[in-house]
Amino acid sequence: MERSKYKRGEIMAEAMWWQNAVVYQVYPKSFQDSDNDGVGDLRGIINRLDYIKQLGVDVIWLNPIYKTSNIDGGYDISDYQKINPTFGNMANFEELLDKAHQKGLKIMMDLVVNHSSFEHEWFQKSVQDDSKDNKYRDYYIWRDPVDGHEPNNWGSFFSGPAWTYDEKSGQYYLHLFAKEQPDLNWDNQAVRNSIFDMMNWWAAKGIDGFRMDVISLISKPEGLPNAPIPEGALYGNSGDASANGPHVHDYLSEMNKQVLKKHDWITVGETAGVTTTEAEKYANLDGTELNMVFQFEHVSLDGNHNPTLGKWSDEHVSLMALRSNLVKWQKALAGKAWNSLYWNNHDQPRAISRFGNDSPEYRVVSGKMLAALLHFMQGTPYIYQGEEIGMTNANFQEMAQYKDLESINAYHELVEQEHLIPADVMMNYLRARSRDNSRTPMQWNSTTYAGFSDVTPWLEVNANHESINVDEALRDKTSLFYFYQKLIRLRHELPVITDGVFDLITDNEKDESVFAYTRKNDTEVLLVIANFTAQSVSRDYNIPHNSELLIQNYPDVISSSLRPYEVRAYLFPNQKDESV
Ligand code: ISL
């Protein structure tokens, strides 16, 4: 096929740069330790920029690197304008930004403003003796007790109630997450101004955008009413009660005017509880709020059937459920808003262990299948560090190996306090879903600490680093790394990956094993066929004779057969009268 005929290499004229981009997520604590204290740091990231560049991505999203109380992996910020000293200093950050820019990489920062740390100056002033009279009291959400109890029945995301009592003032403050993460009061104009000033301060440093932590939760419902308590659960669901609250779109529009619209940035809202209808507002193509959102539905389908246990489960999602959800998002946002695409991140287990197959036989082939399936969809793909070499879940056997407060608190509450499930069942659930699964140190080589550090790391290295590591991946031309590299290159070269209309192929919605879809624009059709199972299946898809096989994860093609986790993507001209 003559590539030039189909405008290959031309980028969709009207596309925004972030619609053609691929983002690489770095969790600094676990990426690269340069000063041998067992914790990753900014110098470590600087030293690895060439590796990230080699992959071919456009943007690095840095999880929080700010001064922190370190209760929740940096999501408890005590100073938004200072760098976590364990990670380095502002000069290191400026060097990182500068060197990334020199290499053509952009830097997206994490913005955590639903809450601050309890050690933030604002909260310290909010609780001090004369606090009821100072302006910082109202920076947070304080309420009187009701009948001697918490002001409402809300639970925290990290177990226990969402309220903590302050003896001095006789009031409770709200925290949807840990008690060390008090929620900021977005209804207060002074709070919003302080946040926008801080964002503008980072803008002046030359950053390229923000990923906004739980930004869907910033506008709490009027009067903070009780929330429905899921059957058997201890507390009302504060996340559902606060998600997409009454003023959230006003506040984001205001942020857009005060900060975002002045810059050619990438912005993504982490929007717990978002629906497709809400996403159309957050990520509207007029650009009045954010560029895109992280939705949670496809990573919530395999939760426990028992609502009391929520995410704690070791279920595997069926292809039927997963596909219908992903298709819903592809279709609903088309032409109205923009999707972000992800299988995993620092809060989710590893993609291959969860959606693919992490046995030695199928790890790489299933990883390639998942990668292709996601990267050919419409939206901006996110790659979480280590995904590109096929890192797997941590497989911890002891509670002492876990460091994540969500995991530790859930174990205490569900096993020891409420006796809802036996310890061994919870250990299985943690092996399947704990956030520490994705936070184990990056596996650079086969040495004792995987090349992450020369000393014992803050979280144990996965034992499989002896065979699964960057050195190995770069040596092997058939590795996942080069497969991702090719997917990223194709996205940059083929407009249809950005602008093509998404459709399942005829009858695919009934197929329990194969996920097959097309993307079509005026000139080209991209056809993606993926076997989601460990069994060979036979299917005949009438691949047009003039199609180009863009990428595949087996060395050859057996017509009308798909081997375990086989994926193939074809490109052919769009002859509008034919349909696949
Ligand atoms: O991690 C979760 C499920 O295991 C979510 O409930 C998570 O808490 C939610 O997605 C919000 O995540 C973000 O905000 C949290 C922080 O702990 C996460 O790391 C962050 O991504 C509080 O800031």
What would the pLDDT profile of 256-275 be if each residue is shown by its tens digit?
A: 999 999 999 999 999 999 99
Each residue's pLDDT tens digit, 25-61 = 999 999 999 999 999 999 999 999 999 999 999 999 9
Query: Largest Cα–Cα distance in the chain?
Result: 79
Confidence check: pLDDT of 6 > 50:
no
Q: Does 67 sit in the ligand 1 pocket, CB within 6 Å?
A: no
Q: Does 72 sit in the ligand 1 pocket, CB within 6 Å?
A: yes
Among residues 180, 208, 270, 406, the one annotated as catalytic is 270
What is the C-alpha to C-alpha distance for residues 50 and 285, in angstroms, rounded to an integer? Answer: 33
User: Which residue's CA is the closest to the ligand 1 atom numbered 23?
Assistant: 75
> Residue 129, CB half-sphere, CA atoms under 13 Å: how many?
0
Contacts of 555 (CB under 8 A, 6+ apart): none
Each residue's pLDDT tens digit, 476-518 = 999 999 999 999 999 999 999 999 999 999 999 999 999 999 9
Best residue among 347, 404, 409, 437 to mutate for probing ligand 1's pocket (most ligand atoms within 8 Å of CB) is 347
User: Which residue's CA is the closest to the ligand 1 atom numbered 7?
Assistant: 347
Ligand 1 centroid to Cα of residue 233, in Å, is: 19
- In the prediction, which pLDDT does 180 show? 98
Which ligand 1 atom lies nearest to the CA of residue 347?
1
Percent of the chain surpassing pLDDT 90:
93
Among residues 213, 387, 436, 499, the one annotated as catalytic is 213
- In the prediction, which pLDDT does 230 show? 86
- In the prediction, which pLDDT does 302 show? 97
- In the prediction, which pLDDT does 10 show? 44
Confidence check: pLDDT of 11 > 50:
no
Which ligand 1 atom lies nearest to the CA of residue 346?
19
DSSP string spanning 154-203?
BBPTTSSBSEEEETTTTEEEE-SS-TTSPBB-TTSHHHHHHHHHHHHHHH
What is the C-alpha to C-alpha distance for residues 473 and 445, in angstroms, rounded to an integer? Answer: 10
Ligand 1 centroid to Cα of residue 365, in Å, is: 30
What is the C-alpha to C-alpha distance for residues 24 and 387, in angstroms, rounded to an integer? Answer: 10
What are the backbone angles phi and psi of residue 493, rounded to the nearest 5°? -95, -30
- In the prediction, which pLDDT does 577 show? 58
Which ligand 1 atom lies nearest to the CA of residue 177?
22
Q: Assign 3-state DSSP to the chain and report helix, strand, coil percentages, each to 5.
A: 35, 15, 50
**Burial annotation 509-545 (CB, 10 A radius, 16+ → b, else e):** eebeebbbbbbbbeebbbbbbbbbbbeebeeebebee
- In the prediction, which pLDDT does 409 show? 96
Q: Does 112 sit in the ligand 1 pocket, CB within 6 Å?
A: yes
Confidence of residue 580 (pLDDT cuts 50, 70, 90): low
Percent of the chain surpassing pLDDT 70:
97
Average pLDDT over residues 548-571: 96
The answer to whether 382 touches 342, Cβ cutoff 8 Å, is: yes
User: Which residue's CA is the closest to the ligand 1 atom numbered 15?
Assistant: 75
Which ligand 1 atom lies nearest to the CA of residue 75?
23
Q: In DSSP terms, which residues pair with 62 in a beta bridge?
A: 26
Phi-psi region of 450 (alpha: psi -120 to 50; beta: other; left: phi over 0): left
Ligand 1 centroid to Cα of residue 202, in Å, is: 23
Each residue's pLDDT tens digit, 118-161 = 999 999 999 997 767 789 999 999 999 999 999 999 999 999 99
Starting at the earlier edge strand, list the strands of the sheet with 501-504: 501-504, 514-520, 524-531, 567-573, 548-552
- In the prediction, which pLDDT does 237 show? 95
Average pLDDT over residues 177-186: 98
- In the prediction, which pLDDT does 46 show? 99
Q: Does 311 sit in the ligand 1 pocket, CB within 6 Å?
A: yes
Each residue's pLDDT tens digit, 211-224 = 999 999 999 999 99
Best residue among 69, 117, 157 to mutate for probing ligand 1's pocket (most ligand atoms within 8 Å of CB) is 157
Looking at residue 327, the DSSP 8-state letter turns out to be H
Ligand 1 centroid to Cα of residue 240, in Å, is: 14
Residue 54: other Cβ atoms inside 10 A: 12
Confidence check: pLDDT of 169 > 60:
yes
Rounded to 10 degrees, what is the CA torsion of 26, 28, 29, 35? 140
User: Which residue's CA is the closest to the ligand 1 atom numbered 11?
Assistant: 214
Confidence check: pLDDT of 1 > 60:
no
147 is catalytic: no
The answer to whether 398 touches 411, Cβ cutoff 8 Å, is: no
416 is catalytic: no
User: Which residue's CA is the closest to the ligand 1 atom numbered 1?
Assistant: 347
End-to-end alpha-carbon separation of the chain, Å?
18
User: What sign for the dihedral angle of Cα 178, 107, 258, 125?
Assistant: positive
Q: Does 460 sit in the ligand 1 pocket, CB within 6 Å?
A: no
- In the prediction, which pLDDT does 120 show? 98
Confidence check: pLDDT of 470 > 90:
yes
Mean pLDDT of the chain, nearest integer: 95
Ligand 1 centroid to Cα of residue 389, in Å, is: 24
- In the prediction, which pLDDT does 7 show? 44
Average pLDDT over residues 438-449: 98
Long-range contacts of 403-407 (CB under 8 A, 24+ apart): 403/436, 403/439, 403/458, 403/459, 404/73, 404/434, 404/435, 404/436, 404/439, 405/71, 405/72, 405/158, 405/178, 406/157, 406/158, 406/159, 406/434, 406/435, 407/434, 407/435, 407/436
- In the prediction, which pLDDT does 4 show? 32
Each residue's pLDDT tens digit, 526-555 = 999 999 999 999 998 889 999 999 999 999
Residue 160: other Cβ atoms inside 10 A: 17
| DSSP element (H, E) containing 324 | helix 319-333
Confidence of residue 578 (pLDDT cuts 50, 70, 90): low
